[in-house]
Amino acid sequence: FGGASFWTMQAEDDTCLTISGSIGLSASTLSGSMMLKSSDTTIREFRQTGNATHFDMNTNNTIFEFTNIKFTNSNATKNVAFNQSTAGIVYVLFTNCIFGSADGVNCPNGAVKRTAGIPTVIMNGCSILRTGTTPAHHGLDATTTTLNDCEISRCSGSGITGAIPNWIYNTVFSYNGGNGIHTSNANGTNGKYVNCVFDSNTLDGLRLNYVCLNDTIVINSIFSNNGQAGVNLLGGGNTPFIEFNAFYANGTTHANNYTLNATNLTGVDPQFVNGASGTRNYALNGTNLRAKGFPDATRFIAADQTNTKSYVDIGVAQTQETAGAGSSFLTQPGMNGGING
């Protein structure tokens, strides 16, 4: 697909779209784009049967958008769904998409891979499951990543690897064979990790190789049952904002190269409904982390200059209030909590 036009394709029935080779995306710089989506809210399968990517993105400064699509690969030797092979920036937007499957059948070797350039990935309501195992494959290998309401689980490598910045909200990283997230570059800023769960990853929950500056934020998130550290700040540096998180049953330490302050809860069971690999229900089934997030429920917001208190649970899910509780709700991306006005 190429040219300066805007391509829109719709999958209109339950027939599986099938290809046996990679589709090259070469829309004109700054003027071309392509959208692939289901004709309704049903998720349609798009299957690669060859040892190839679904798409090879080879023109910079272009935009590709995918909605309600499940990407699978049935070949014995698999590849990632998307590869960027050109210098420059490519924007890829996914909404309500699935990569792989819960049963491990026909899973591609990850969602996006960077061979060259700066892939900028935005995902809303997406799931990346069970990448291939020989060698270990990561869920996402991108330069700039924004996730909201997503899951990256049971990948053979890390959930995310690559450079920063990452802006991650309301997302679960669980049971990955490497780290939940591993930022591999030496220096950087702007990492934001808000209302997330990092659970049962083989290595660290969140591993940051770069020198953390003050605009790195880790807040309202749960780090539990990871094989090594909950948070591992390998690069050291200035003091990032790591507050109002919960750390539980991590293998070696809750935080490496960083001293957690008193706003962080350590050794407190998050009381998941069912955090088992096949279930992954990370809603809270108890009060240990309820209303323990930021903004602080013990004070009024805006430096006590309002009469409003916020009650934010730590983690990816907020507690459902009982009927007639008399509370109104203000919902913000990545920081959902009851606002008692």
Cα(113)–Cα(37) distance, rounded to whole angstroms? Answer: 21
Residues of the chain with pLDDT under 70: 1-9, 11-15, 25-32, 59-61, 134, 163-165, 184-190, 210-214, 236-238, 322-341
The token pair that represents 40 in the structure block: 């309704």
**What b/e string do you get for 265-296 counting C-beta neighbours within 10 Å, with b at 16 or more?**
beebebbbeebeeeebebebeeebbbbbbbbb
Per the listing, tokens 């040219």 go with: 3
**What b/e string do you get for 97-133 counting C-beta neighbours within 10 Å, with b at 16 or more?**
bbbbeeeeebbbbbbbbbeebbbbbbbbbbbbbbbbe
What pLDDT, on a 0 to 100 scale, did the predictor assign at position 338? 44
How does pLDDT run across 56-86, given as a tens digit for each residue? Answer: 877 666 788 999 999 999 999 989 999 988 8
Yes or no: say if 158 and 129 are a contact pair by the CB < 8 Å rule. no
What pLDDT, on a 0 to 100 scale, did the predictor assign at position 185? 61
Kindly state the DSSP code that residue 212 receives in the 8-state scheme.
B
pTM above 0.85, yes or no: yes
What pLDDT, on a 0 to 100 scale, did the predictor assign at position 332? 42
Cα diameter, the chain: 62
